Structure 1
């Protein structure tokens, strides 16, 4: 199953919801129960979903709104549910490998194109945060 619609940038969580540019922050909150909400108090609001199983992978998804409009979706996945992650069991080499896994996943699921009329998609490694993920940034 493809969770990213390449025609319009919609992002679908199976049996849950489709995130699209025409839905605002309050629309989403009416449809689903997130794991966590974070209002940064500067126009940005995040809605988080953990351990969403899609195609035998466990996704962690952050949906960001700016002034209540969809701004970006940041997500990562693992092959098994990961609990109790700490800096003690973190390894930079493994995190860089995870970023490479995300690049391969994008190529398998989307091909090589990453820029679209509706936005762009990329995998990244953030050394300061010690994490890797995929981001869909909408225009």
Structure 2
């Protein structure tokens, strides 16, 4: 199981790494996942730092992770599936290709969570949500950024634990 439905913790077994809300950056740096898969970092200049990782295989999908730290604590987890046929740049991008990524992300989440989405929406943009007592796991196609991604949101009370 990749995402624990009891608490939203991501278990990357191949790297003996657990990703969770509030994880300290120093803890992440000690993991095999960070040491082997770290790709890039973006300092947003607001106290937030995004760390990007090379894709890894999970359940037959290539999945990349983007981890956002506020200060030295993990605050936001984003993911996306990837295939060779996906757009490589703006000249190759089409909304149809991006919608395929969105649907693939939804299928990936349905498979690893072993449940159908709790909610599907088309407005204001296509999204899929899996709700849990601690928060939710979501997938969205955002036409404003021309991208599809997945993520985990934690309830406010969970954030403060």
TM-score, normalising length from structure 2?
A: 0.74
Q: Is the 8 A contact 2:61 2:108 kept in 1?
A: no
Instruction: Report the equivalent of 1:109.
Output: 112
| Alpha-carbon distance between aligned partners in 1 of 2:108 and 2:73, rounded to the nearest angstrom | 27
Distance 2:101 2:92 in 1: 15
Match of 2:147 among 126, 131, 134: 131
Identify which of 44, 54, 64 aligns with 1:60. Answer: 64
1:23 equivalent in structure 2: 23
Per-residue deviation at 1:106?
A: 1.9
- Equivalent residues in 2 for 1:76-95 (5 A)? 76-80=80-84, 85-95=88-98
The ranges of structure 1 where at least 4 consecutive aligned residues each deviate by more than 6 angstroms after the TM superposition are none
CA gap of 1:40–1:121, structure 2 versus 1, over 3 A, is same
Instruction: Note the alpha carbon deviations across 1:71-93, whole angstroms, 9 max, x for none.
Output: 221111124596x8111111101
2:55 alignment partner, SS class: strand
1:45 and 1:66 in contact (8 A); partners too: yes
Q: Name the structure 2 match of 1:10.
A: 9
Give me the whole-angstrom Cα distance separating, in 1, the residues matched to 2:131 and 2:74: 17
Instruction: Give the whole-Å Cα distance in 2 for the aligned partners of 1:105 and 1:89.
Output: 24
Per-residue CA deviation, residues 50-88 of structure 1 (Å, 9 max, x unaligned), is: 121223321111011223222221111124596x81111
Where does the alignment leave 5 or more consecutive residues of structure 1 unmatched?
Answer: none
Residue pair 2:98, 2:148 contacting (<8 A) in 1 also: yes
Where does structure 2 lack aligned partners over 5 or more consecutive residues? 119-129, 156-161
Q: CA deviation at 1:13?
A: 2.4
1-side partners of 2:105 and 2:45: how far apart? 31
